[in-house]
Structure 1
Amino acid sequence: MPPGSGEAFFFTPPYERFAISKSADITTAVLLLCVGLAVSQLAARARRFQVIAIRDAGYLARIHDTAVLSRSANSALTVVDHVGDELIDLLQLRGCHFQDGSLIGHPPRLEHDGSITIGRKQWDADRLGLPDQDVELRMFGNGRYIGRYMLDPTPGAVPSRQARLVAVTLADQAGAAMDTLRRPAKSV
């Protein structure tokens, strides 16, 4: 079949067959293979970056929405409830509740760097997820302890370090809102 008529396997000679007869054909085949691999790797990397960008934009939106709510909410408790709902979704929890005031017991703790500690030992949350017991996330406002969220983890869920850091940031926003509620009003 002459070039240009009908279907051809390739658009370069040899038409309708895969034959390598010269060293130049080997060089061409290797170069085409390398270019194909490079393009597929670039496409895979671009997809990964797109997923990361979408996820990070979602994290930023959570923080932003909570900040807007904390400025406009009539009650700090509205912010605390909102953050609790965000934590459930963000960390894939079965549940979450806020405890005001004193610290009772020594449950595992989600630290401000996104790590988990049980007693004095580090828990490998990146590999194991959250422990199979309630985990505390302490809230601070203006440097003072305000209260804590008690997180009820879903077995098998492994929230990323970024998600855990966003959870800490959200808890800090709720702590700041609670701190404004507790501060005495300034007289004018």
Structure 2
Amino acid sequence: MRRYLVHLVPSGPFSLLLAAGAPLALSAVLLPFRDSPANTDIALLLVVVVVAAAAFGHRLAGAVAAVSAAVWFDFFFTRPYQQFAIDKSSDITTAVLLLAVGLAVSQLAARARRFRVVAITDAGYLARIHDTAVLARSANSALTVVDHVRDELVDLLQLRGCRFEYGSLLGHPPSLQHDGTVRTEGRTWDADVLGLPERGVELRMFGNGKYVGRFMLEPTPGTVPSRQARLVAVTLADHAGAALDSLTRPVKAA
């Protein structure tokens, strides 16, 4: 099964440890040469590490790397050495700028990475919708479309399972609405925070405005499908509903 939404970057405590340790590691490498290059050159090299931490970690990792870079620049490369003190006003300026630029660049890098993830995700969602639409037009059996959509829903919403029920409604389970919200017991369920209700959610299918069946979604505990994913799920269900409606629609005589 294809996965369109992928995790591009590490997260959690490990990335923070890497972000904090990378400037220290680079400082150790540059330490034997601290009397050769200008402090501004060393500061620029440390900014590169901050950018890398933000690009391959997350926003907090970039901020941690920026603080770490400023601290170790002060400790190793400004007089008095091996002390958290700075004698020269120019070095104070460089250290402050290193911290400020590092924080700013880490924010920009994190934002650029987030836009990249959004773009990849949106492309994946469009591909799902396109593939399902093509199948709905070309499949010889509506049930082929239903089976395809059921598999897509499991993958898209990270479900434990999903079953198709044709015909009349039974019971009053929570329901995934066309606007991506979830309704249960007459009120809106906060699916953006709580995920889908674990007792199961129905996703109704309509063809030509007529109810034709539903998918019963079995959520995986602890997962929180995004609103975008839920809206795509509704669109996929609409394709399945249209395919089912074509089975019951009378054929006009030529």
Pairwise same-fold verdict (TM > 0.5)? yes
1:125-179 per-position Cα deviation (integer Å, ceiling 9, x unaligned): 1111111212110001111111111111122221111111111010011111112
Instruction: Give the alignment's Cα RMSD to 1 decimal.
Output: 2.0
1:122 and 2:188 are equivalent in the alignment: yes
Using CA pairs under 8 Å that are at least 6 residues apart, name the structure with larger relative contact order, 1 or 2: 1
Cα 1:184–1:37 change in 2 (3 A) is same
Q: Which residue pairs with 2:33 in the alignment?
A: 7
Q: Which runs of 5+ in 1 are unaligned?
A: 1-5
Distance of 1:9 and 1:35 partners within structure 2:
24
Tell me, yes or no, if the aligned pair for 2:162 and 2:215 is still in contact at 8 Å.
yes
Residue 236 of structure 2: SS of its match in structure 1?
helix
Q: 1:59 matched to which residue of 2?
A: 125
Aligned residues: 183
Which segments of 5 or more consecutive residues in structure 2 lack a partner in the other structure?
A: 1-31, 43-75, 80-85
Q: Secondary structure at the match of 1:148?
A: strand
Residue aligning to 1:18: 78
User: Of 145, 151, 156, which residue of structure 2 is paired with 1:90?
Assistant: 156
Change in 2 beyond 3 A, CA 1:145/1:11:
same
Distance 2:37 2:149 in 1: 60
Cα offsets for 1:20-54 (capped at 9, x unmatched): 44434333332232222211211111122222221
Distance 1:9 1:75, change over 3 A: farther
What is the aligned counterpart of 2:216 among 133, 150, 161?
Answer: 150
1:49-68 Cα distance to aligned partner (Å, 9 max, x none): 22222122111111111011
Which structure has greater strand proportion? 1
Give the 3-state SS of the residue equivalent to 1:139 in structure 2: strand
How many Å separate the matches in 2 of 1:157 and 1:37? 32
Q: Does 1:139 align with 2:183?
A: no
Contact 2:207–2:245 (CA under 8 A) maintained in structure 1: yes
**Deviations for 1:101-126, whole angstroms, at most 9, x for unmatched residues?**
11111111011111111120111111
Q: Does residue 176 of structure 2 align to residue 107 of structure 1? A: no
What SS does structure 2 have at the residue aligned with 1:33? helix
Q: Does structure 1 residue 45 correspond to structure 2 residue 111?
A: yes
Which stretch of the first structure deviates more once superposed, 127-136 or 10-19? 10-19
Q: Distance in 2 between matches of 1:33 and 1:133?
A: 49
SS at match of 2:33: coil
* Letter aligned with residue 18 of structure 1: T
1:77 aligns with 2:135: no
CA deviation after TM superposition for structure 1 residue 10, in Å: 7.1
Paired with 2:146 and 2:138, the residues of 1 have a C-alpha distance of 13
Q: Percent identity?
A: 71
- Quick one: structure 1 residues 13 and 152, their matched pair in 2 at CA, closer, same or farther if it must change by over 3 Å? closer
Of 153-162 and 136-145, the range deviating more from structure 2: 153-162
In terms of mean alpha carbon deviation, does 11-20 or 117-126 score higher? 11-20
Contact 2:39-2:91 at 8 Å conserved across structures: no
